[in-house]
Amino acid sequence: MISVFGSLVDQDEILRVSKCMESQWMGFGKDVEIFESKFSEKFAIPNFLMVDSGSNALFMAVSLLDLPEGSEIIIPSFTWVSCAQAIVLAGHKPVFCDVEIDSMNVSVDTITPHITENTGAIMVVHYAGLPVDMDPILELGFPVIEDAAHAVDSLYKGKPCGTIGDIGIYSFDAVKNFTVGEGGGITMKSHAHFERAKFMRYCGIGKSGFDSATNSGSSFNRWWEYKIQEVFIKMLPTNLAANIGLGQLEKIDRLQNRRKEIWNYYNENLQGVILPLNVDTGSKHSFFTYAIRAKDRDGLAKFLFDNGVYTTLRYHPLHLNPVYNQENSTLSNSETLNEDCLSIPIHPRLTDEEIEKVVFLINEYAAL
């Protein structure tokens, strides 16, 4: 079966992880700091911290805003569940808005109708790695969280996605463009937020006893005592994950080039379906997922599956889930995408023969 999503690791990552395991220091440590520095430098992302998942990065991002309890945060319905869960878990209310049908991204026009006196923030999602048009949204004057889980390596008018709003997050899970197996990252404009996030990710403590004992630079001698700065959950990444990330940094340009090759091949050869938007001049796409639209989406998905090609929908609109009590909302574009959108395979492990097979099958079905 040809997989729809995927990353690529090789002997470099395996060797790095093996050496980390041999060191017996597999948890949070200096390798995380090294990774954070190199990732920040590679992608020009300031105030960057690694955490244990993109989902937890979202929860941290919402928590850092210190909004009044019960605040409304406007988010796209056409996104992953972690966006809404982070808001609910932080004591607030997700308010779902629609996306533009062609970009599958939110816009100032889809956000504005949902602004109320209770609106506290806006969360945007750079769907598939295509940058959201950020400038008009920033002009609304609300704090903005960028979910750049799909958008490592994406640029909006030359600026790295995730660094344009107040806080940005990244996902490094097993199928993302940049993987550490399971992990995430967070960046923020405010240095005060950055310093606070450092201790938040370690249960609100910040320093372990070992770190206090070896790096205090003072006569401190009761290193097992610690001051809890605030109540928060543990989000520490591991040296194991950091070493996978260090290996990924060595090959990310090659991996991204392969994704772009596949994207361009689809653009040039697919027939009978609506193709995703390309990026505007001056910006940059990450090519995380290639989402087509088809009249008989379900039939096409079944046909591809029966012929050895796995596809999926990213994502089932969140407002249709009763748990959020907004299923009576009408978000027509998200609901249309729920019926005709399909993510087809795009990742660096695909062979030319597999890509050609995907195109052949889609074109064959469209011609029926």
Contacts of 122 (CB under 8 A, 6+ apart): 73, 74, 75, 111, 137, 140, 142, 143, 144, 145
Residue 332 has pLDDT above 80, yes or no: yes
What's the pTM? 0.95
Distance CA 271, CA 146 (A): 33
Per the CB < 8 A criterion, the answer to whether 169 and 61 are in contact is yes
Per the CB < 8 A criterion, the answer to whether 361 and 309 are in contact is yes
Give residue 213's pLDDT.
Answer: 61
Check whether domain 252-366 has CATH 3.90.1150.10, yes or no: yes
Residue 116 has pLDDT above 70, yes or no: yes
Residue 133 has pLDDT above 70, yes or no: yes
If you average pLDDT over residues 151-156, what whole number do you get? 98
**Degrees to nearest 5, angle at CA 208 with 206 and 209:** 135
Q: Where are the domain boundaries for CATH 3.90.1150.10 in the chain? A: 252-366
Give residue 222's pLDDT.
Answer: 77
Residue 218 has pLDDT above 90, yes or no: no
Q: Which residues of 25-53 are buried (b: 16+ CB within 10 A; e: fewer)?
A: ebebbebbeebbeebbeebebebbbbbbb
Q: Where are the domain boundaries for CATH 3.40.640.10 in the chain? A: 11-248
Distance CA 50, CA 32 (A): 7
Q: Which fold has domain 11-248?
A: Aspartate Aminotransferase; domain 2 (3.40.640)
Distance CA 54, CA 33 (A): 18
Residue 219 has pLDDT above 60, yes or no: no
CB atoms within 10 A of CB 159: 15
pLDDT in tens, 239-263: 999 999 999 999 999 999 999 999 9
Give residue 225's pLDDT.
Answer: 79
If one compares 368 and 223, the residue with the highest pLDDT of the two is 368
pLDDT in tens, 44-82: 999 999 999 999 999 999 999 999 999 999 999 999 999
DSSP 250: H
